[in-house]
Amino acid sequence: MKKRTLGKSGLEVSALGLGCMGMSSAYGPAADKSQMLTLIRAAFDRGVSFFDTAEVYGPFTNEELVGEALAPIREQVVIATKFGFDLDPATSQRTGGLNSRPEHIKAVAEASLKRLRTGVIDLFFQHRVDPQVPIEDVAGAVKELIQQGKVLHFGLSEPGVETIRRAHSVQPVAAVQSEYSLWYRGPEKEILPTLEKLGIGFVPFSPLGAGFLTGKIDANTKFDRSDFRNSVPRFTPQALQANQALVDLLRDVAVRKKATPAQVALAWLLAQKPWIVPIPGTTKLHRLEENLGALSVELTPDDLQLIDIAAAKIRLEGDRLPPGALAMTGR
């Protein structure tokens, strides 16, 4: 397994991580626990050392799953988890909106440590920027946790450039996590240049566009009624039909490279910067193996230029998130 270092943090991880959210939430009913334990361990056996979770996934159950799966090999892996929402431990439900008050951050850290069966959180992300709490206070709270040995590295998810700079001045940010793929290239304008300048790593989530870039979803696809994609504008039948041109582009490249569209999509991301570590998620072993196969797909500078030229001609339709969720990004 190839390794990458997240910016200047010194945090070395596998070049591809595993996003674990979909095992417990968001894409319909939770998957079978025993099967997911097996899948997480299979990922480790194949060289994956970076696992991403959050207290809100489930809520709570995903952290418990990841903690149980990785307990026997804890010293050989890097676990990222997140804070930032109001959740009720008694009912396992969200009770409010964002909450990044320092006392809440510290309470979440203690609870996450227990669910993850570990003494330290390798990478602790603020899940979404809380406009009610100065980011300096957030960074300061995580800095205290780092000083106490409960957290090793600080991360931000879906922040804006100014938030990144302000947080980094208080406690060095090891990584930023935001959506990035050929389907959504928003970070390219400001986020990626800022991260490069500051020496911060980048962890793209939804690197396969919540499944769309695999080529297995089209305008006729029906999702489970609890699947979050039902509420996402870019997953309406009309948008899916319009955006199919991007999958066709990936498929054309995949034929030449003897690969799959998903592998080309991931290889494209990996080729953008050496400090980018995508975290594709899956609940299926054959998809895990397919994703890892992207590490063997080499895209030349000519390939990348051709992809960019062709992609620029495609008019993509639909926002990547519902209005309420979109409003919590880029702050």
The residues annotated as belonging to the active site are 57
Q: What amino acid is encoded at 156 in this protein?
A: L
Rounded Cα gap, residues 12 and 4, in angstroms: 6
- C-beta separation of 174 from 201 below 8 A: yes
Tokens of 120: 């330290």
Q: In angstroms, what CA-CA distances link 185 with 54, 204, 206, 222?
A: 24, 11, 12, 26
- C-beta separation of 48 from 39 below 8 A: no
- C-beta separation of 219 from 246 below 8 A: no
Under 8 Å CB-to-CB from 169, ≥6 apart: which residues?
136
- CA gyration radius, the chain: 19
* H-assigned helices in 3-134: 33-45, 61-70, 102-115
For 136-176, give the DSSP string: HHHHHHHHHHHHTTSEEEEEEES--HHHHHHHHHHS-EEEE
Q: Residues of 187-214 as b/e, b for ≥16 C-beta within 10 angstroms? A: beeebbebbeebebbbbbbbbbbbbbbb
Tokens of 238: 């009309």
For residue 29, how far is the Cα from the chain centroid? 20
- C-beta separation of 234 from 317 below 8 A: yes
